[in-house]
Amino acid sequence: MSDTTELIEFALEHPNISSLCLAYDCWKEGKYTEPKTQTALEEILESGLESSEPDIAKMAAQVKLSRRLNNLYDIDDNVAIDCNYITYAEYQLFADEQLNSQTHFAAGDAQKPIINVTYLNALKFCAWLNDNTILLANIKDNIQNVFYYRLPTPSEATNISAKEHKQLTCWTIKGSSQQENAIRVVRAKIPAEYEKLANYLATAEWEKASKETAEIILKAANQESEGEIDTFLIKQISCSCVSRIDNLWTQYSIGNYSWGVYQNIENFPNSHHLPFYCLSVSGNIKEAFDALVAKYIDCGIEHNKNAISFDVVTVNRQGEEIQWQRCQAEYFTEDLGNNINLDMVAIPGGSFTMGAPKNERYSSDRESPQHQVTVQSFLMGKYPVTQAQWKAVAALPKVNRDLKLEPSKFKGDDLPVEQVSWYDAVEFCDRLSQHTGKQYRLPSEAEWEYACRAGTTTPFHFGETISSELANYNASETYADEPKGKYRNRTTTVGKFLPNAFGLYDMHGLVWEWCLDDWHDNYKDALTDGSAWFDDNDNDNLSQKKGAAVLRGGSWINLPESCRSASRNSYVRAERVNFNYGSGFRVVCVVGRSLK
């Protein structure tokens, strides 16, 4: 019996990532192995990727990923790149641990490249690698330097092409890719002078990382004695310094903080967050910022144009701010013509508890019983549909019914459209779908509440209460212990207030929003898959639906209890007057169903 056979048999008897990686390498190098032993190894590491036994599938995927990380191609002494794409089996490890995925790749797909992954999840995959002590412990011993995993730069991805599946493209650290977005990884050495910055970033100590970034820049420009950064010094920064800093910030902040995120001074985040480019500057901060952006462009560093960063606030019962959080979302823009756009935000799939607990103030039987619902990913309008968007779509060819060009009581292009019936909203979606070739519709009630909550379980996505500084509603009465606020007595411009953690604006107040579902008095026998709940499931023609439909979110005219995440209302589908001074809608777009 050969030494190779003995080694493999030992690995099979004492399976772990290190032993199985070594056994697999020996076998793949073509060393003779007894056929029975070779078959046993294949069953665990190759056939095992498709195994229905979770432990076997997980071990096989871990070995495959570990071998991948140990066999990267060295671009130079500082950077090594993967010459192939991450597979479904490898990505499933990450999805199970970090995304709480409820889905699994299809049979036969284990060794295929995973595609259509979002930019944020591609960044998160690399972040997961950086934190995965089991995988990192099995990196070859000759790697002595401090390093981190990230997505490749555009030039790295172009200059070192993948060996297989050449029709695919991959996400890069700046977000640039083509249609079928796959994942390749890079292992980058962290020079000694950047190690402290990397440590601060890894522990999310953003203010310390900001100050360390300033020190690195001062040192790189031989201006350590100056103590502050001005526009002249910014122009002296080398592109290699700019690129290395930006790559570190982009990867460790999962895209939230990078020189490419903001394009002008108006997009500065508020003072609750200190991104690294908000450095100690002398003179005019706008001039310094403009110089920084110019340097970024001069160095040819791209950024993801389909990601938005924003701040989310949480308040206590007194309406006092108790937490600020930096979030990011992906979106695409639908061009409606005449410089009118419709921004659609990517809502990740997940599970949540729908309805209100019995002890929530002003909760009612119509919001119970609480029940678990699993929602697939979808795209949702960043704002309620505006009057400008309404006019653009209402001018398109008729599908089932006529639409008024200006139905609203309160006039203004950036105000939400109101005084529209459920049928009007459905016709809007039908015309938009016909015009774009995409499937637009109203949200199901479950999708709406899931999107509104954005991971929260409190009465409002803002926390325990709301205030007139956070939403447009009748704040002459209070919900909890917050002070009374302003009653505006009309609609306001969309996007005037802060968003929720999914990047959606005006989910509380402003206008009631139509949902697809038939009205039901409570959640007894409610669906749990996130789809619209109809009494007549045999009739798919929405224009023929009768009776009352669901409205969500409250409006400018309502007291705060009607604006809660769980609050429900109903109205006759055909009506568009009186009560509907406060009813509008937002649209969703159906996307592919996957674990990504």
Per-residue pLDDT in tens (0 to 9) along the chain, 596 residues? 457 777 777 767 777 777 777 777 776 666 666 777 777 776 777 777 888 888 888 888 888 898 888 889 999 988 999 999 999 999 999 998 888 766 778 888 998 999 878 888 888 899 999 888 766 666 654 455 688 999 998 889 888 989 888 888 888 887 754 445 899 999 999 998 999 988 888 888 877 888 888 788 888 877 766 666 677 777 778 888 888 888 888 888 877 766 544 443 334 444 333 344 444 444 556 666 677 777 877 877 766 556 777 889 999 999 999 998 878 888 888 999 999 999 999 898 889 999 999 999 999 999 999 999 999 889 999 999 999 999 999 999 999 999 999 999 999 999 999 999 999 999 999 999 999 999 999 999 999 999 999 999 999 999 999 999 999 999 999 999 999 999 999 999 999 999 999 999 999 999 999 999 999 999 999 999 999 999 876 667 787 788 899 999 999 999 999 999 999 999 998 765 455 568 999 999 985 433 33
Give the neighbor-by-neighbor strand order of the sheet with 79-81.
Answer: 73-74, 79-81, 186-189, 147-150
Which residues in 148-159 are b (16+ Cβ under 10 Å) and which e?
A: bbbbbbbebbee
Exposed/middle/buried for residue 277 (C-beta within 10 Å: 0-12, 13-18, 19+):
buried
Measuring CA to CA, which residue among 318, 228, 243 is closest to residue 281? 228
CATH 3.90.1580.10 residue ranges in the chain? 350-590
Gap between the Cα atoms of 78 and 321, Å rounded: 44
* C-alpha triplet 280, 286, 291: angle, nearest 5°: 80
Gap between the Cα atoms of 499 and 488, Å rounded: 19
Tell me the C-alpha to C-alpha distance, in Å, between residue 234 and each of 220, 237, 261, 287, 299. Answer: 11, 6, 18, 11, 12
Token pair, residue 103, equals 């889905």
Helix (H, G, I), strand (E, B) or coil at 56: helix
Gap between the Cα atoms of 254 and 267, Å rounded: 18
How many CB atoms neighbour CB 548 within 10 A? 17
Find out whether 255 and 120 touch, Cβ atoms under 8 Å.
yes
Token pair, residue 270, equals 């508020």
Tell me the C-alpha to C-alpha distance, in Å, between residue 366 and each of 461, 530, 566. Answer: 20, 18, 10
Give the strand pairing for 181-182 and 169-170: parallel
Find out whether 224 and 233 touch, Cβ atoms under 8 Å.
no
Residue 584 makes CB contacts below 8 A (sequence gap 6+) with 384, 385, 416, 417, 418, 420, 510, 511, 512, 513, 514
Gap between the Cα atoms of 444 and 467, Å rounded: 27
Tell me the C-alpha to C-alpha distance, in Å, between residue 540 and each of 98, 180, 544, 548. Answer: 37, 32, 9, 17
Q: How far apart are the first and last CA of the chain?
A: 46
Q: What is the CATH number of domain 350-590?
A: 3.90.1580.10
Find out whether 325 and 314 touch, Cβ atoms under 8 Å.
yes
Please give the pLDDT value at position 262.
44
Residue 334 makes CB contacts below 8 A (sequence gap 6+) with 341, 342, 343, 344, 432, 436, 438
Measuring CA to CA, which residue among 118, 87, 106, 90 is closest to residue 181? 118
User: Half-sphere exposure of residue 17, counting CA atoms within 13 Å on the CB side?
Assistant: 20
Find out whether 554 and 512 touch, Cβ atoms under 8 Å.
yes
Residue positions counted in the chain: 596
* 514, containing H or E segment: strand 512-518
Tell me the C-alpha to C-alpha distance, in Å, between residue 296 and each of 264, 280, 290, 510, 579. Answer: 13, 18, 10, 39, 51
Token pair, residue 263, equals 């394009």
- Backbone torsion region of residue 419, taken as left when φ is above 0, otherwise alpha when ψ lies between -120 and 50, otherwise beta: left
Task: Determine phi and psi for 586, rounding to 5 degrees.
Answer: -130, 160
Helix (H, G, I), strand (E, B) or coil at 375: strand
Residue 171 makes CB contacts below 8 A (sequence gap 6+) with 117, 119, 122, 151, 177, 181, 182, 183
Find out whether 86 and 152 touch, Cβ atoms under 8 Å.
no
**Which residues partner with 589 through β-bridges?**
379, 440
Gap between the Cα atoms of 20 and 40, Å rounded: 12
Token pair, residue 281, equals 């500057």
